[in-house]
Amino acid sequence: MQNVITKTDFSFPGQKSIYKGKVRDVYNISDKYLVMVTTDRISAFDVVLPKGIPYKGQVLNQIATKFLDATSDICPNWKIASPDPNVTIGRFCKVYPIEMIIRGYLTGSSWRTYQKGARTICGVAIPDGMKEHQRFPEPIITPTTKAKVGHDEDISRDEIFAQGLIPEEEYKTIEKYAIALFKRGTEIAAKQGLILVDTKYEFGKGEDGKIYLIDEIHTPDSSRYFYLEGYDDRQAKGEQQRQLSKEFVREWLMANGFQGHEGQAVPEMSDPFVHEISERYIELYESITGEKFNHTDTTGILQRIEKNILGFLSVHK
At 161-217, the pLDDT tens digits run 999 999 999 999 999 999 999 999 999 999 999 999 999 999 999 999 999 999 999
119-166 pLDDT, tens digit per residue, is 999 999 999 999 999 999 999 999 999 866 556 789 999 999 999 999
pLDDT digits (tens, 9 = 90+) for 12-66: 999 999 999 999 999 999 999 999 999 999 999 889 999 999 999 999 999 999 9
The whole-number pLDDT of residue 87 equals 98
By CB atoms closer than 10 A (0-12, 13-18, 19+), residue 136 is middle
Report which DSSP code applies to 22: S
CATH number where 197 lies: 3.30.470.20
CA 43/CA 246 separation, integer angstroms? 9
Evaluate whether 55 touches 2 at the Cβ level (below 8 Å).
yes
pLDDT of residue 284: 85
Report yes or no on 134 lying in a domain.
yes
Q: Which pLDDT does position 8 carry in this prediction?
A: 97
| Residue 305 belongs to some domain of the structure | no
DSSP secondary structure string for all residues of 187-220: HHHHHTTEEEEEEEEEEEEETTS-EEEES--S-T
- In a domain, residue 3? The reply is no
* Predicted pLDDT at 148: 60
CA distances (Å), origin 192, targets 65, 281, 289:
18, 16, 8
Chain Cα centroid distance, residue 199: 7
Residue 32 in domain? no
| Edge-to-edge strands, sheet with 87-91 | 15-20, 24-29, 33-38, 87-91, 79-84
Is the pLDDT at 2 greater than 80, yes or no? no
* Residue 1: pLDDT over 60: no
Task: Give, in order, the Cα–Cα distances in Å from 305 to each of 78, 88, 145.
Answer: 20, 11, 31
Q: Model pTM?
A: 0.90
Determine the distance from the C-alpha atom of residue 182 to the mean position of all C-alpha atoms in its chain, rounded to a whole number: 13
Helices 168-191 and 56-70, axial angle in degrees (round to 10): 110
Residue 64: C-alpha distances to residues 152, 226, 307 (Å): 22, 18, 22
Q: How confident is the model at residue 314 (pLDDT cuts 50, 70, 90)?
A: very high
| Cβ atoms of 314 and 33 closer than 8 Å | no
The boundaries of the domain holding residue 147 are 95-244
Query: Per DSSP, what are the bridge partners of residue 244?
Result: 225
Please check whether residue 232 lies inside any domain of the structure.
yes
**Torsion from C-alpha of 180, 142, 222, 67, nearest 10 degrees:** 10
In this prediction, residue 244 has a pLDDT band, given cuts at 50, 70 and 90, of confident
Task: Say how many domains are in the chain.
Answer: 1
Quick check: 5 and 40 in contact, CB under 8 A? yes
